[in-house]
Amino acid sequence: MNRPGPGSEPLPEPTTLLQTGWHCLHLYYSVDAAAWKALSAEERQQGAQAVMALLDPERDGAPERIQTFITAGHGSDFGIMALDRDPLKLDDIRQGIRASQLGPALQNTASFVSLTEISEYVPTAEQYAAKLRAAGAGEEDPAYLAKVKAYEQRLPMMNRQRLYPDFPDWPVICFYPMNKIRHPQANWYVLPFEARSSLMAEHATSGIKFAGKVSQLITASTGFDNWEWGVTLWARTPEYVKEIVYTMRFDEASARYAEFGPFYIGYIKSPEQVLQHLRLI
Q: Which residues are catalytic?
A: 176
Helix (H, G, I), strand (E, B) or coil at 121: coil
The H or E element containing residue 258 is strand 258-260
Q: How far apart are alpha carbons 145 and 32 in whole angstroms?
A: 60
Whole-angstrom distance, CA of residue 63 vs CA of residue 93 = 9
Residue type (1 letter), 149: K
Cβ neighbours of residue 44 closer than 8 Å, sequence gap 6 or more: 36, 101, 102, 280, 281
- CA–CA dist 190, 183 (Å, integer): 10
